[in-house]
Copies of this chain bind each other. A is one copy, B any other.
């Protein structure tokens, strides 16, 4: 854990323009070498790379086509000379053309990278690397400018975790985007039940038979129709709920977080509130969430007793829910039906690239943590009302532990470390659970006509709220700070083993924009094998020009193309 580049690096946003040089970059250099002269090392300014990104995508797609072609026509797979038939030569020609195109792109990309590096399109965002963790820790936790809207510093996320696109968003737009996302998530939570009930209404078996006559076949097998009518609504509901985390994640991506981990945490929060609204409250209560919300806003005093009576009535339902979700959820988690069908669909649509897409996904926190937190909440609320529910829950958590230990170790890839940043949010969910439990208790004592007990539970509620506030003010900041003591200890360990310099040099290189890395990888696969192919093509071309006279136009084209390609490759080699 000591070799982390992010411990040496700061993310600095809203860098003002240097009036002298009309650039952001030199201002970073001036600023940090002035205020942190002993620890400042280097900076890496970000640039506007939309165009480059676009070109790189195109180049990559061409590269894909070339490889596809090669595999198809067997230029690379079998080492023997290709058949000198007309079609195979045409194919070779096609590939050569594509490769030439790729070379062109390579040149353009290279030029553009040089231009971008020459600071023409700087963004006011930079990664600043320090010579020690202590320096970075001290600088990250301080306010640098008198104006809190300038020189905003924070510890950089891990290099693999950085969300490069979002860094280009101006900081002043972030609150608006975030507000938009909150409103979107709120609307989704409130109005989610409407399309679900609509689809459930349409998908009734009787209606299905009318609109989709082949469904009558279900009647042929005895018992199947009852299973379909029984399970179809809940299957539809679960299908909708399955999609929600992805929708929330897509929304969170719009909020402009600096790292993917932050996006997932945001999505996780939104999914949790969604589940509390649409699973917990909707299961408890009759009517839509909007009606219930209105009811609570108009008569909040009835809320505890209303909740208590609903909770005690629905104990059986939640026991079943925990059992079924536990068994089905964990088995689905192991089988990964979503990914399986997604990959199947992909491979059917573009079967050739199947091998390339064998990508390991990371643990989908936004899909897993909110559900587990929801069950925790259910457990806490029912701990008072129906303690018999707890053994089911213990079974659920034990099974979950076994399943997820397996999944984390063997199935999912680690694309970034969470560094325990989910804990404050889980703490928050637990507090919400405790508050709901206490409200239920107030209602329950009221229902059992023990007003004294009911009233004396209210201070408990207030103390819980105050405890939450206290934790927020005292402990929450530590989740975003890198303590001086730890930074110094790690620095000392590194100095002992003479690794400090290596580490900060690595850190300085780690935050290079991915699309500014040398584009030679594009030509790597080409150049190793294509020089040979080119020569071969030239020979073939020569033979053709001698053999076939009526195709002179084609021949001329080929020659032109070959010349171009040669010229391009020369210039490319010079530049490289």
**Interface pair B141/A142, CB less than 8 Å apart:** yes
- A478 interfacial by beta-carbon distance below 8 Å: yes
Query: Which chain B residues lie closer than 8 Å to A300 at the CB level?
Result: 297-298, 300
Contact among B145, B466, B483 with A146 in the assembled complex (CB-CB below 8 Å): B483
**Interface pair B485/A144, CB less than 8 Å apart:** yes
- A301 interfacial by beta-carbon distance below 8 Å: yes
- A395 interfacial by beta-carbon distance below 8 Å: no
Q: How far is the CA of A151 from the CA of B481 in the complex (A)?
A: 14
Given A35-B134, A298-B301, verify A146-B488 contact (CB < 8 Å).
no
Query: Which chain B residues lie closer than 8 Å to A297 at the CB level?
Result: 300-301
Q: How far is the CA of A485 from the CA of B110 in the complex (A)?
A: 39
* Chain B residue nearest in CB terms to A150: B485
* Chain B residue nearest in CB terms to A137: B142
Bits for A481-521, please: 1 = Cβ < 8 Å to B, else 0. Answer: 10111101000000000000000000000000000000000
Contact among B35, B146, B484 with A143 in the assembled complex (CB-CB below 8 Å): B484
Query: Which chain B residues lie closer than 8 Å to A149 at the CB level?
Result: 474
Q: How far is the CA of A149 from the CA of B478 in the complex (A)?
A: 10
**Interface pair B148/A142, CB less than 8 Å apart:** no
Query: Which chain B residues lie closer than 8 Å to A486 at the CB level?
Result: 146
**Interface pair B298/A148, CB less than 8 Å apart:** no
**Interface pair A142/B175, CB less than 8 Å apart:** no
Query: Which chain B residues lie closer than 8 Å to A139 at the CB level?
Result: 138
* Chain B residue nearest in CB terms to A479: B148
Those of A155-173 within 8 Å (CB) of chain B: none
**Interface pair B35/A148, CB less than 8 Å apart:** no
Those of A57-90 within 8 Å (CB) of chain B: none
Interface of chain A: mostly helix, strand, loop or mixed = helix
* Chain B residue nearest in CB terms to A171: B474
A378 to chain B, nearest CB (A): 27
- A470 interfacial by beta-carbon distance below 8 Å: yes
Q: How far is the CA of A22 from the CA of B483 in the complex (A)?
A: 25
Contact among B38, B134, B142, B484 with A481 in the assembled complex (CB-CB below 8 Å): B142
Query: Which chain B residues lie closer than 8 Å to A151 at the CB level?
Result: 485
Given A298-B300, A301-B298, A470-B175, verify A35-B145 contact (CB < 8 Å).
no
- A231 interfacial by beta-carbon distance below 8 Å: no
Query: Which chain B residues lie closer than 8 Å to A485 at the CB level?
Result: 35, 144-146, 151
* Chain B residue nearest in CB terms to A134: B35
Query: Which chain B residues lie closer than 8 Å to A138 at the CB level?
Result: 138-139, 142
A454 to chain B, nearest CB (A): 15
- How many copies of the chain does the oligomer comprise? 2
A510 to chain B, nearest CB (A): 24
**Interface pair A481/B298, CB less than 8 Å apart:** no
Q: How far is the CA of A175 from the CA of B473 in the complex (A)?
A: 11
**Interface pair B148/A484, CB less than 8 Å apart:** no
Those of A277-300 within 8 Å (CB) of chain B: 297-300
Specify which of A34, A139, A141 lies most central, judged by the most chain B CB atoms within 10 Å of its CB.
A141
**Interface pair B144/A483, CB less than 8 Å apart:** yes
Contact among B141, B143, B470 with A478 in the assembled complex (CB-CB below 8 Å): B143
Given A297-B300, A474-B149, verify A35-B144 contact (CB < 8 Å).
no
Q: How far is the CA of A470 from the CA of B171 in the complex (A)?
A: 12
Q: How far is the CA of A233 from the CA of B551 in the complex (A)?
A: 114
Query: Which chain B residues lie closer than 8 Å to A142 at the CB level?
Result: 137-138, 141-142, 481, 483-484
Specify which of A35, A38, A143, A300 lies most central, judged by the most chain B CB atoms within 10 Å of its CB.
A143
Q: How far is the CA of A466 from the CA of B180 in the complex (A)?
A: 11
A38 to chain B, nearest CB (A): 8
Those of A120-149 within 8 Å (CB) of chain B: 134, 137-139, 141-146, 148-149
- A317 interfacial by beta-carbon distance below 8 Å: no
**Interface pair A477/B143, CB less than 8 Å apart:** yes
Query: Which chain B residues lie closer than 8 Å to A141 at the CB level?
Result: 141-143
Contact among B146, B477, B484 with A144 in the assembled complex (CB-CB below 8 Å): B484
Query: Which chain B residues lie closer than 8 Å to A321 at the CB level?
Result: none
Bits for A436-476, please: 1 = Cβ < 8 Å to B, else 0. Answer: 00000000000000000000000000010010001000110
Query: Which chain B residues lie closer than 8 Å to A179 at the CB level?
Result: 463, 466
Q: How far is the CA of A463 from the CA of B299 in the complex (A)?
A: 25
A402 to chain B, nearest CB (A): 32
Query: Which chain B residues lie closer than 8 Å to A34 at the CB level?
Result: 488
Query: Which chain B residues lie closer than 8 Å to A134 at the CB level?
Result: 35
Query: Which chain B residues lie closer than 8 Å to A475 at the CB level?
Result: 148
Query: Which chain B residues lie closer than 8 Å to A470 at the CB level?
Result: 175
Specify which of A134, A142, A475 lies most central, judged by the most chain B CB atoms within 10 Å of its CB.
A142
Bits for A32-49, please: 1 = Cβ < 8 Å to B, else 0. Answer: 001100100000000000
A269 to chain B, nearest CB (A): 15
Those of A162-194 within 8 Å (CB) of chain B: 175, 179, 182
* Chain B residue nearest in CB terms to A470: B175
Given contacts A141-B141, A142-B142, list 15 more A-B pairs with CB under 8 A: A34-B488, A137-B142, A141-B142, A142-B481, A143-B484, A144-B483, A144-B485, A145-B485, A148-B474, A148-B475, A175-B466, A179-B466, A182-B466, A298-B300, A299-B299
Q: List 23 A-B contacts (CB under 8 A).
A: A35-B134, A35-B485, A35-B488, A137-B142, A138-B139, A138-B142, A141-B142, A141-B143, A143-B477, A143-B478, A143-B483, A144-B483, A145-B483, A145-B485, A148-B475, A148-B477, A148-B478, A149-B474, A151-B485, A175-B474, A182-B466, A298-B300, A300-B300
